[in-house]
Amino acid sequence: MHDVRVVLMTAPDTETAERLGRALVEEHLAACATVVPDVSSTYWWGGRVERAGEALVILKTTEGRVNDLRDRALGLHPYEVPELLVLQVVDGNDAYLDWVRRESRPPLGRTET
């Protein structure tokens, strides 16, 4: 089993998705943020079915960074109840998984609180 995780998060638009993804990568909470623009979500909200255009952010991180990533993402996110789903990676390209591990660590000399 691998310690790499994929985190799915939607945002109201591409600009917001890019901003969120960049912040999480810059803070080494994720190695990579891939933004998929122009997705459509249909969901229950306020007792009725809603439909909204959104952007999807696919984040790659490690199990040890998930809690910090979630806390930071929820703090930055404009939604009242943001989607944030953590998926366990069961297999993949070993070189890529090693890269995710390496880039998701806090920078040297920086300690997490």
In a domain, 111, yes or no: no
pLDDT of residue 109: 59
- pTM, to two decimals: 0.91
Assess contact for 69 and 29: CB atoms under 8 A: yes
Predicted pLDDT of residue 111: 54
8 A C-beta contact, residue 66 and residue 7: yes
pLDDT of residue 46: 94
CATH classification at residue 44: 3.30.70.120
Tell me, what's the pLDDT at 110?
A: 56
Residue 69 lies in a domain: yes
**Phi and psi at residue 11, in whole multiples of 5°?**
-140, 160
Q: How far is CA 69 from CA 35, 89, 95, in A?
A: 16, 17, 23
pLDDT at 106: 86
**57 within a domain of the structure (yes/no):** yes
The number of distinct structural domains making up the chain is: 1
pLDDT tens by residue, the chain, 113 residues: 589 999 999 999 999 999 999 999 999 999 999 999 999 999 999 999 999 999 999 999 999 999 999 999 999 999 999 999 999 999 999 999 999 999 999 877 555 54
Q: Which domain holds residue 75?
A: 4-103
Query: Per the domain annotation, does 41 fall within a domain?
Result: yes
Determine how many CB atoms are found less than 10 A away from the CB of residue 67.
11
In a domain, 112, yes or no: no
Residue 2 region by backbone torsions, left for phi larger than 0, else alpha for psi between -120 and 50, else beta: beta
